[in-house]
Structure 1
Amino acid sequence: MMLKVGQYLQNRYEILSLIGTGGMSEVYQAKCHVLNRLVAIKLLKEEYSTDANFVSRFKMEAQSAAGLSHPNIVSIYDVVDEDSLHYIVMELIEGVTLKNYIRNKGRLENREAIGIAIQVAQGIAAAHDQHIVHRDIKPQNMIINKDGKVKVADFGIARAVSCQTVNGNAVGSVHYISPEQAKGEYSDARSDIYSLGITMFEMVTGKTPFEGDTPVQIALAHLQQPMPHAESLNPEVSAALSRIISRCTQKMPENRYQDCYDLISELRRALVDPEDEQLNRQAESDDAPTQVRGADNDGPTIILDRIADSAESVKRKNAKPAAEKENAGTPEKTGKPAAANGKPKNGASRGISHEANRHKHKETASLDKMLNAIGIAAAMIIVIIIIVIGVKLSGLFNDSFSDSGKSTEISAGSGTEEAASESESESGSEAESVAEESSSGEIIRLDSLNLVGMTLENAKQVLSDKKLEVKIEEENNTDVEKGKIIRYSPAEAEAGDTVTLTSSLGPEKIMVPVPNITGMSVENAKVVLETIGLSLGMETRTKDDAAAGTILSQSAEPQSEIAKGSSIDYVVSEGRDTHFVAAVNDTLSLQDYFGPSSGNTELKISIVMKQVVDGENHTKVVMDPTTIMANTALPVQYSIEGAEGVRRGTLQVLDLTNDRVLKTYNLTFVEVAK
């Protein structure tokens, strides 16, 4: 049931125009006359409104989502039942969906894609903190406003829809669905992370990773096909970002990021260092082939009314015993597969053959182990005899050997202070030996102390305990974290000697001059700062006569110098507390233009508002192109917000079928409180 322009809901919300239509809802622009603000109204389509169970779920989930408040989430103001109408009143965002943004640009650069992904992940993380999982993360549900802010929409409504079946009538979410959702299994926060990974893949490549002729084929691809690497479609994708996408889209939830905060942290690292080696190493294991549950052979059948997967039970039936798997690298003599056409063999014969193989394998394995043990023991005895003879001949077995043994090295740890501490506690008697030597003036081997990688304070304490003096030097280093030891000298010392510790200052700071961004729009300032290696920091909004979105002040003085990579906080104008509004209240008889016999004639009609702003013509669509019969009485009843400070304009009713203007209304805009 479509709402009509000018129609009121709850004597409060005036329908202004249809914004768009989706698979399950229609979205309208409306004005709330109680709070005097523009809102969006998402109305459930009739096929959903008549399903009592769905409506009940929808209300419950939408009411839960209404409690979410975050800059990267579209706010829900109200959830309403009105007769047969069920709708959500939500924040109106003037912008474009990420899906259309990708479609218009083809694909996004690394930095832009990461920036968008961070904002989306922050919104999702806030919802997860409230135990709300979206379950329908996709670029169609992400809106970018004119300031570049990204907001995630449809929390709650997505949860209700996710309970429906995935079939030919499903909305276009199957391209982003997680494997566990495709199988009708339990989904949690990691399912949203998978879908965000697919969205990131689409941002940098311009396409989704899995395609098919039907939703069923695409869902199966998520289950069975390996995830392609983003750089295979776009060589400009950074290694770090590609690894992040790969980890997000692992088939098994436990192999993905376990929460959005870990993902956000690594996205920020990838933004600073696109070739982050540590990040790449952490993700190496994610590139190993992933066994997909239910993807082996042709046995598993996905029932797409719930996409229930029987693959697990098939795998358990076909699984080899543990002992048999050890010999899996050797083909059977018969060369015959265990099952034909992916179907398991008869249960009884399979059980007998497995049992026989298991006994046979145990006997063979026991014999092999016995022979191996005898061979190893014999070899060790021979080697020991040779070493003893050789050492005795060289005079190495003498009284001094046991003394020099006191300077045996403590095995090197990982370089972190935790590993160093662990190494010291594990080395027990060896550390005591070193301490005894230091008190008697003997040599201390500094490599046994694992100083490299320790914090400066810990290293000083360790040397002080050994009665050594400390001299500190500092230098910049891109590989060693600030405040940790890069190297030391000398390699050996006695009690009372001075050891020089070289501590890291972190990467060398490159200073850049601060540009004047006051008076710029937020988007322009962002571009200017990014070109010289700076970024926008914390935003503070305030009412001001300056146009909304104009930067009023900045934290760093223009022409001063700050380190490259720093951010600049800023204050931005929200505009005035007033806006300029004009009203039209008329009914246009189309029959006057097309004659009394035009009842069967269809017309495509649109209504636009035009203003001249700063010498340029601006056009705003008030009513989208709509097919109307030529004998219709068209209501032209609008309250229209115009450009700030502009008091004149026109409203035009356009006949798009015949490419002409039917009527022009002169508008006078009045400044009123928001």
Structure 2
Amino acid sequence: MILRPGTFLQDRYEILEQIGSGGMSYVYKALCHKLNRLVAIKILKEEFSSDGSFVSKFKMEAQAAARLSHPNIVNIYDVVDEDNLHYIVMELIEGITLKNYISKKGCLDVKEAIGVAVQVAQGIAAAHEQGIIHRDIKPQNIIIARDGKVKVADFGIARAASSQTLSATAVGSVHYISPEQARGGYSDVRSDVYSLGITMYEMVAGRVPFQGENTVTVALAHLETPITPPSYYNEDIPVGLENIILKCTEKKPEYRYGSMQEVVADLRHALVDPNGDFVQQNPQIDDSQTVIIGKPELEQIRSGRKVSQDAPSAPHGMRDKDQRRERRPERGENPKQTAARTKKEDSGEDINPKIEKLLTAAGILVAVIIVIVLVVVFAKVGGLFRSGSSKSQELTATESTEETLSEKSVKMPSVLGLTTELAEQKLKENGGLYMKTSDYVYSDTVAEGDIVSQDPSSGTVVDKYSAVYVVVSKGPEHVKIDLTNLGLEKMEAASAKTLLEEKKLVVKIEQKNSESIQNGYVISYSPTEAKEGDTVTITASSGPALTNPVTVPNLAGQSKELAAELLADVGLTEGSVSEAVSETVPKGMVISQSAAAGSQVESGSAVNLVISSGTAQQAKYKYLASIDKSYSLQNIIGPGSGSTQLTLKIQLRQNVNGRDEVRDLMAPVTLTGDQMLPVSFKNLEGAYGVTSGTVEIVNVETGEVINSYSITFVPVPQS
């Protein structure tokens, strides 16, 4: 019966919601109030609860799974019989089934598929170590938790590896069932290996290998139809993983992996060497039956009589007796050796003389025929037969070769220069060949996405449905850049240089006078196309030809006042002045200038300056002070000294970080003894963080400080 939310089982498990339904049971999400944890409860359906065999099978599942404890197996907590309810309490996994995950993604990435397969194989291997075979491995029974952990669930048809397995009927999902399960035969660990192989096939190919209108068709396909390599549906599957899948899905169990540990080992190898040929294929065992000659046939041979095709069969009892006389292979002896020994022992020594003569004559006849053939061959080599017969023989041989090619193999077509889509289509049309990409390389001659080389090469005879490995072009390693689309002609030479260097080009700048192009801007460049590492030459304008050139002084590191004086000394003027934060240039000093130091410019030109506003912290505040004084020179010279002259300057002295720093506030000026020297400065800016200083009047000729005034600086936020 179906349980409603709120129902309590054993006064402990509260049913929250139904989360699934299987062939034999319902699955509910429940809360265990005793341990305060969420659990999953699988309850046997009502129609099976009264059937003793189903109940027994249900309990067998619980008993088998409850013995298992592994991170990749869903844990069983409790097995309960409560009135007519039979249920299992198990670990609740919040996540998605592998089947739904494949449906959403189409097919999994190779590394992701290997990671899932390794975890599943580890869980199944733990069950095998406990003597338990799952027998129903499929994506629906594999859960991917939200944390990425993969767990195997639903040991619904598991059986202990015992004599019971020998008589177990074929059960499980038909798309993943092993051939031995499909025919109702013996199932062991290799049956789970087969089902895991089909599951891996679906993960990477996005589909199961065998599909049909009904379960019988699919089951027969597992028994008889060769499996199509999964790379036929997904060319990105590496050789190593494909070989693992093909070995897992061999029709005969003895050709598969012998244990899940072997599968895990090869899967881990495939992660580090995806295209390696490391999968060990088991030798193909010759299991053909020994041919037994019955007693009636033996008597006819000894008497020299021909055995009739319509001769009545020996009585059933005699055939059974002869079958029991079949020889068994001795240690180290293969079935063919056994057949030869059996035939020799049964033939006896008393062969009929007529038969012996007949065999002797036949041997002589064969020898004569061989001699004749050899004579004909040597005669043909020596040129004895020069008639048209040789052409006839060549034609016959050609027809025979073509017939063989059409049945088993084909000549490899050329796919060089084709796109991958056209190449794949051409290969499929020529004997079902399928393409695998072995590498991608740069090519200056083959367009991106086209085939550079193939292996085997064209004209080689290959088996139908075999793989062809191709190398695909990635196009030129360094694509040429069309410089005409960058608008370099409208840029300053410095900006153009930066842009081209970002594209990993080498830039060389040359100067040239121009009456029409502004100084510093690009006049021309060459070449117009270039690729990474190439050199591009830019011709920059140096303005019109100079009539009165002067050399620009180096102003970097100088104060603004001194920079203005240096410019005036060579006949240049101070242009615009801007400020910028600098961690290296002291505040108030020149960071850069518009005209490079040492360059030639026209006399009277303006040079723009960028002054440091100090560090980022200094740019937030400035320390200001004010002074408004005047000083009479008569204090030094005395009255009546109007004809006496002195050259003076005013400077600011501050102690910054333990050392004196002196900055000129007024350039040297010559005054007479009857004049007043104004000492007036508003918003006088001092060193950052220093709150005191001294304004000094200095005699330039002697260096003597004539007078000084102490001032105080206060921090003021920058506007």
Please, what TM-score do these two structures have when normalized by structure 1? 0.43
Query: Which structure shows the bigger proportion of residues in helix conformation?
Result: 1
Higher Rg of the two aligned structures: 2
Greater relative contact order, per chain length (Cα 8 Å cut-off, separation 6+): 1
